[in-house]
């Protein structure tokens, strides 16, 4: 090979290496990820989504000031509340609704430890299945693992917030009778249990909102592992 041929060969080789580095032969897919990467990315997403949701909801007006998660009276009692307002009891109704939402806001921070514990206990073998399971698969994992124990932790806090309002006892009396004749669900017939359920619904809803954001734009979260893992789902 003479000098001109060698120079030409060298330039061609360099060009091919440059092109290969700029344009990979194929895009990274979920199948290309190791179990370790999939698990690490999922755990990072779980932690970020959970902590963000707790931070948003576990403050004053986290529930009361957010129409997406604000806890109203159940439908049947909402109608009864309208009647109470006509008799000048509107302030008491508002006090009850406020205490319900304040109870949820006070309870949510208690979820942090259980949510993070669920993350650490996640099975490696389940990671890829959860990642490829749709926009709310991570949230469903959380709900399956934590909803029941969180309900136990939330209930006393919600009870403390609502027991100060005299109307709460009347709610339970009225709701109990309404449930007996099929006007409302039995699980909604106790204000403390109703608010606890709604607080959990709001928490998991907010986690799902965070999960969607991470899946749609992992780069915005400044984590290389999130970008690698969730980018493979595109």
Q: Residue-wise pLDDT tens for the chain (234 aa)?
A: 554 543 443 333 333 233 333 333 334 455 555 667 667 777 887 888 899 999 999 999 999 999 999 999 876 666 666 665 665 666 777 888 899 999 999 999 999 999 999 999 888 666 766 777 777 888 888 999 999 999 999 999 999 998 887 667 877 887 777 778 777 777 777 889 999 999 999 999 999 998 888 777 777 666 666 667 666 655
Are 221 and 48 in contact by the 8 Å Cβ rule? The answer is yes
Distance of CA 121 to the CA centre of its chain: 18
CA angle 130, 134, 140 (to 5 degrees): 60
Cα–Cα distance measured from residue 64 to residue 72, given in angstroms and rounded to the nearest whole number: 9
Q: Hey, how many other C-beta atoms are within 10 angstroms of the C-beta on 95? A: 16
The pLDDT, as a whole number, for residue 191 is 86
The pLDDT, as a whole number, for residue 214 is 78
| Residue 169 C-beta-side C-alpha neighbours within 13 Å | 4
With CA atoms as reference, report the closest residue to 205 among 161, 113, 155, 142: 142
The pLDDT, as a whole number, for residue 81 is 63
Cα–Cα distance measured from residue 95 to residue 79, given in angstroms and rounded to the nearest whole number: 16
DSSP string, the chain: --HHHHHHHHHHHHHHHHHHHHS-SS---GGGS-HHHHHHHHHHHHHHHHHHHHHHHSSTTTTTT-TTT--PPPHHHHHHHHHHHHTT-HHHHHHHHHHHHHHHHHHGGGGHHHHHHHHHT--GGGHHHHHTS-TTHHHHHHHHHHHHHHHHHHHHHHHHHHTTSHHHHHHHHHHHHHHHTTSS-GGGSSHHHHHHHHHHHHHHHHHHHHHHHHHH-GGGGT-HHHHHHHHTT-
Cα–Cα distance measured from residue 34 to residue 21, given in angstroms and rounded to the nearest whole number: 22
Instruction: At 217, list the tokens.
Output: 């734009």
Cα–Cα distance measured from residue 73 to residue 112, given in angstroms and rounded to the nearest whole number: 27
pTM as predicted = 0.76
The pLDDT, as a whole number, for residue 150 is 97
């Amino acid at each position: 090979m003479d000098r001109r041929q060698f120079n030409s060969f060298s330039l061609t080789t360099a060009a091919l290496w440059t092109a290969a580095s700029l344009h990979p032969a194929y895009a990274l897919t979920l199948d290309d990820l190791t179990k370790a990467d999939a698990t690490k990315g999922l755990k990072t997403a779980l932690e970020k989504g959970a902590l963000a949701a707790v931070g948003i909801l576990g403050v004053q007006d986290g529930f009361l000031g957010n129409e997406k998660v604000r806890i109203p009276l159940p439908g049947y009692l909402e109608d009864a509340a309208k009647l109470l307002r006509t008799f000048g009891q509107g302030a008491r109704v508002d006090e009850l609704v406020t205490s319900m939402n304040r109870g949820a806001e006070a309870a949510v921070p208690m979820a942090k430890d259980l949510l993070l514990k669920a993350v650490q206990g996640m099975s490696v073998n389940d990671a890829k299945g959860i990642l490829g399971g749709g926009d709310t698969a991570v949230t469903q994992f959380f709900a399956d693992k934590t909803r029941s124990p969180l309900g136990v932790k939330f209930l006393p806090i919600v009870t403390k917030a609502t027991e100060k309002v005299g109307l709460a006892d009347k709610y339970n009396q009225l709701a109990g009778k309404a449930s007996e004749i099929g006007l409302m669900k039995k699980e909604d017939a106790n204000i403390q249990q109703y608010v606890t359920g709604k607080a959990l619904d709001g928490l998991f809803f907010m986690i799902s909102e965070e999960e969607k954001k991470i899946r749609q734009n992992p780069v915005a979260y400044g984590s290389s592992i999130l970008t690698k893992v969730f980018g493979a789902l595109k």
